[in-house]
Amino acid sequence: MPVLSVMAIQGDPDDLVARMRKTIDPVASRKAAQYGGISSTVVRTDDGIKIFNLWENDEGRHKMAADPEIRAALSDAGFPEPQFRAYEILYRRTIAETAKEPVQRIADEVWTQGKLDLIDELVAPDFVGTSPTDGEYHGQAGFRQLVERYRLAFSNVELKIDRIVAEGDWVSSHWTARGTHTAELMGIAPTGKDVTVTGMQFDRVAGGKIVESHGLFDALGMLQQLGAVPTAAPATA
Amino acid sequence: MLALPPPRFTPCDRCGASVERDVADGHVCERERLVEYALFQMRDRIVSFDEDLGAWLDTPQGRFESFYASYRRLTAG
Q: Which of A190, A62, A211 is nearest to A140 (CA)?
A: A211
Give the pLDDT score at A13: 94
Q: With pLDDT > 90 as the criterion, what percentage of chain A qualifies?
A: 85
Average pLDDT over residues B47-65: 93
Residue B60, pLDDT above cutoff 60: yes
Domain containing A110 equals 95-225
Q: What is the CATH number of the domain that holds A62?
A: 3.30.70.100
ipTM computed for the complex:
0.71
Contacts B41 to A, Cβ<8 Å: 192
Domain termination site, one of A55, A88, A121: A88
Decide which of A31, A65, A88 is a domain's last residue: A88
User: Domain check: are A66 and A12 in the same one?
Assistant: yes
Residues of A in contact with B36 (CB under 8 A): 192
Is residue B1 scored above 70 in pLDDT?
Answer: no
Instruction: Spell out, as residue ranges, where chain A has pLDDT lower than 70.
Output: 233-237
C-beta atoms of A231 and B7 within 8 A = yes
- Same domain flag for A104 and A83: no
Q: Are A216 and A109 in a shared domain?
A: yes
Residues A134 and A30 in one domain: no
Could you give the CA distance from residue A230 to residue A220 in angstroms, rounded to a whole number? 10
Q: How far apart are CA B52 and CA B55, in angstroms?
A: 5
Whole-number Å distance between alpha carbons of B5 and A234 = 10
Sort out which chain A residues have CB atoms less than 8 A from B6's CB and list them. Answer: 224, 231-232
Q: Grade residue B39 by pLDDT with cuts at 50, 70 and 90.
A: very high
Are A101 and A187 members of one domain?
Answer: yes
Number of domains in chain B: 1
**Nearest-angstrom CA–CA distance, B47 and B1:** 41
The average confidence (pLDDT) of chain B is 91
Query: pLDDT digits over B22-36, tens only?
Result: 888 899 999 999 999
| Secondary structure (3-state) at B24 | helix
- Identify the closest residue of chain B to A229 by CA–CA distance: B4
Q: Search chain A and give the residue with CA nearest B3.
A: A232
pTM above 0.80, yes or no: no
Domain count, chain A: 2
Neighbour-count burial of A95, counting CB atoms closer than 10 A to its CB (0-12 exposed, 13-18 middle, 19+ buried): exposed
Q: How many CB atoms lie within 10 A of CB A54?
A: 18
Q: Are residues A128 and A61 part of one domain? A: no
Asked if residues A40 and A53 have their Cβ atoms less than 8 Å apart, the reply is yes
Number of H helices, E strands in chain B: 4, 2
Within-domain flag for B46:
yes
Same domain for A46 and A132?
A: no
Tell me which residue of A199, A170, A179 sits closest to A103, measured CA to CA.
A170
- In a domain, residue B39? The reply is yes
Looking at the fold, whether A105 and A76 belong to one and the same domain comes out as no
The reply to whether A102 and A152 lie within a common domain is yes
The answer as to whether A71 is a domain residue is yes
Residue at A235 is within a domain: no
Question: What is the pLDDT confidence band of residue B47, given thresholds at 50, 70 and 90?
Answer: confident
CATH number at residue A195: 3.10.450.50
Q: Tell me the chain A residues in contact with residue B4 when contact means C-beta distances shorter than 8 Å.
A: 220, 224, 229-232
For residue B3, being part of any structural domain is answered with no
pLDDT at site B77 = 64
Which residues of chain B make contact with A157, given a CB cutoff of 8 A?
none
Per-residue pLDDT tens digits for A152-201: 999 999 999 999 999 989 999 999 999 999 999 999 999 999 999 999 99
Using DSSP's 3-state secondary structure scheme, residue A54 falls into strand
Q: Tell me, what's the pLDDT at A213?
A: 97
Looking at the structure, tell me whether residues A69 and A104 fall in a common domain. no
Which residues of A lie closer than 8 Å to B, measured between beta carbons? 178, 180, 182, 190-198, 218, 220-222, 224-225, 229-233
Query: Are residues A110 and A212 both part of a single domain?
Result: yes
Cβ–Cβ of A178/B18 closer than 8 Å?
A: yes
3-state secondary structure (DSSP) of residue A123 = strand
Interface probe, candidates B8, B13, B18, chain A, greatest A C-beta count within 10 A: B18
Q: Are residues A186 and A145 in the same domain?
A: yes
- Among A66, A88, A110, the domain boundary falls at A88
